[in-house]
Structure 1
Amino acid sequence: MAFTTANTVEEFRRNLDDVQRRIDAAAMRAGRDPQSIRLQPVSKTVSEERIRNAIAAGCTRLGENKVQEAKWKHAALLDTGVEWSIIGHLQRNKAKDVVAFASEFHALDSLRLAEALDRRLQAAGRSLDVYVQVNTSGEESKYGIDPDDLPELLMSLRGLDSLNVRGLMTLAIFTDDQEAVRRCFQILRRLRDEMRDLDPELVGLGELSMGMSGDFETAIEEGADVVRVGQSIFGARPTPDSDYWPTAAH
């Protein structure tokens, strides 16, 4: 898939409009309200100057995989008022950094990490919206909780008052097999529905954070409420996905 690189405010507006048109079309195909789907722009590897133009074009919340990268961007762009979502794997010793500036965390995958975040949040007197990451592809190397362990983790999160569970998140398998990708999204939707049947409060709003530049239309067709889109807005990245979506094997 070819991605058009944006540098100017006008170029960012064009890319954002194009992505929004694709979101709307996918929602209409699925009989869904396009307004119910949130676009989460992802600015990893993008320079401060280009991010400022993206913000001027309408980006009000940006997503980053690496906490250290997000940390310096937050400091550099403090004057813009942009909000930050951390969407990549987090080590427990970086919990304090997320608590310091993030509005959302999309990759909660263990109780120990949840407890570390909760301690920091309690000390800071604030709360954090989180999505529980589930490994729907069955790849042993990929981060995310095993679907069978999801009920226990969600029940344990009830005791952590500073974490607001909004729903579930997944990364589809990296493959050209679109049906295999679609199955990952279907699994997450099924898990959300099963958790609601078990106890509606377990998954909060029950939102599904799934779909990236290469597959967000399929994700919307399968129920995505939040799509995390980077390259379709900013352009092709100079580094491979493996640099920004580390596996458990790493």
Structure 2
Amino acid sequence: MHWTTDCRAPSVGQVVITKTRSPIRSNVGLKAVMAVTGIMLVLFLVAHMLGNLKVFTGETSFDHYAHWLRDIGKPLLPGVWFLWILRTALVVAVIGHIWAATVLAVRARAARPVRYAHRKKVQGSYAARTMRWGGVIILLFVIYHILDLTTGTLNPVGDASNPYGNVVADFAPDRWYVTLFYTLAIVTVGFHLRHGLFSALRSLGQQTPRGERRARTAALVFAVVLCAGYLVVPFAVLTGLVS
């Protein structure tokens, strides 16, 4: 029986220690991390979008929903612990998603250290070519969004007891630059989501020409619907539909 990778049996009394890579650090494990964290983030985006749309039900209903979020888990959990648990889980998911994507990208580049002298142009999607700077925009937006509507630091009202007023003040016409930045970030999320969902569907077996067309269409429709659900709120405030 052979014990070593070079097919030489160990001598009597020799102890052979083989260093193995953790399953989670393998390419398959990293892709699994990306899939799980991606699903978590998509579910949050959908739930958050549906919650935002309650602004169209009126100030009382929206404020009631916002305060209900703070009371989830009571009396088992004190105060706003549920929200902080959720935020912590989301931060872990984001870090895990970025870590897995970065390691996979570095390994892919290391597998081909020398560029081809004559290489045909690859027809990659716009999202695939801009994932890096898109991630930076999303990160900056998340930081601003927290300081704006979570802590109220950058919000004109900044009153935790008046969530509806915070949203209306945030996207007021004289703060058009906030709506512009919000739109840029949401569209970037849409491109990122479209690319990620398409890649996930292909990994699940949609690799025939017909399957790829279906996957591309499904990813595009989902991304457009999600973006529209987020953008309708700031533009409704900007145009006076919500005030």
Query: In proportion to residue count, which structure has more strand?
Result: 1
TM-score, normalisation: structure 1: 0.26
Query: In proportion to residue count, which structure has more helix?
Result: 2
Q: Which structure's relative contact order is higher, taking Cα pairs within 8 Å and 6+ residues apart?
A: 1
Choose 1 or 2 for highest CA Rg: 2
